[in-house]
Amino acid sequence: MIEIKPLSSSSAGNAYHITDGCTALLLEAGIRYKDIQRALNFQTSGLAGCLLSHEHGDHGKAAAEVMKAGIDVYASQGTLEALGLSGHRAKSIRAKHQFRIGTWSILPFDVQHDVAEPLGFLLANQAGEKLMFATDTYYIRYRFKGLTHIMVECNYSLQLLNENIAAGRVPAMMKKRLLRSHFSLENVKDFLLANDLSQVQEIWLLHLSDNNSDEAMFKREIQELTGKPVLVAER
């Protein structure tokens, strides 16, 4: 049974602990390593690996320390180079090339973000469960069958963003970058409707914006759309 524990999920830093009861993984390392340790009650020796989606600090700032702690870090070559990571703990992976960590079979896939070589991940375990993880992307071109767990960025609402720009709370120039780098509520809805949700047990909304999101609204609208339990990762 997949268990998901968000350690942090915001522009200040992102990190998530997942386990299928056999193999524990860290998804992202965007907060201080000491904070990762504290959030996991200093049980980091049980981590079989860390997956990084891309090189931005709020996703990879602790990657070097994670490696020093004896934990392999898996990321695209572009991400590893951008973070200056090398050595036997730095594992280069490629989109559409499957690999294994313990009981997980992991298929990276390309996503759309303003960085070197960003990835999302489809993770399957031996119990037949499937988890999709995607953050910091404005679009996901792929469709997935048999998903049981979804962890997806829901950074902003276009409606809220436009209201904030009109009120002068958010610079107008921010809109262009958001549209080409982060997943909006509207695009998340389109993505979910395009996928097979019949086996989904829970949907996690990640990386909500401090200014351009509404946690209660996002949760309500996604639940109404999908009929599935929706959780919002802590910020």
Domain residues of the chain, as ranges? 3-232
Residue 195: pLDDT over 80? yes
Class of domain 3-232: alpha beta
Q: Which residues are 18's β-sheet partners?
A: 4, 25
Residues 185-196, mean pLDDT to the nearest whole number: 96
Residues 197-209, mean pLDDT to the nearest whole number: 97
CA distance 47 to 28: 13
Closest of 105, 67, 234, 218 to residue 155, by C-alpha: 218
Residue 68: pLDDT over 80? yes
Residues 73-83, mean pLDDT to the nearest whole number: 97
Residue 119: pLDDT over 90? yes
- pLDDT tens track for 209-232: 988 999 999 999 999 999 999 999
pLDDT at res. 93: 98
Query: Which residues touch 108 (CB under 8 Å, ≥6 apart)?
Result: 76, 93, 94, 95, 96, 97, 119, 120, 121, 122
Confidence of residue 235 (pLDDT cuts 50, 70, 90): low
- Considering the entire predicted model, what is its pTM? 0.96
Residues 158-174, mean pLDDT to the nearest whole number: 91
Closest of 103, 87, 89, 193 to residue 140, by C-alpha: 193
Residues 180-204, mean pLDDT to the nearest whole number: 95
- pLDDT tens track for 4-47: 999 999 888 999 999 999 999 999 999 999 999 999 999 999 99
Contact 234, 166 (CB under 8 A): no
Indicate the pairing of strand 47-51 with strand 73-76. Answer: parallel
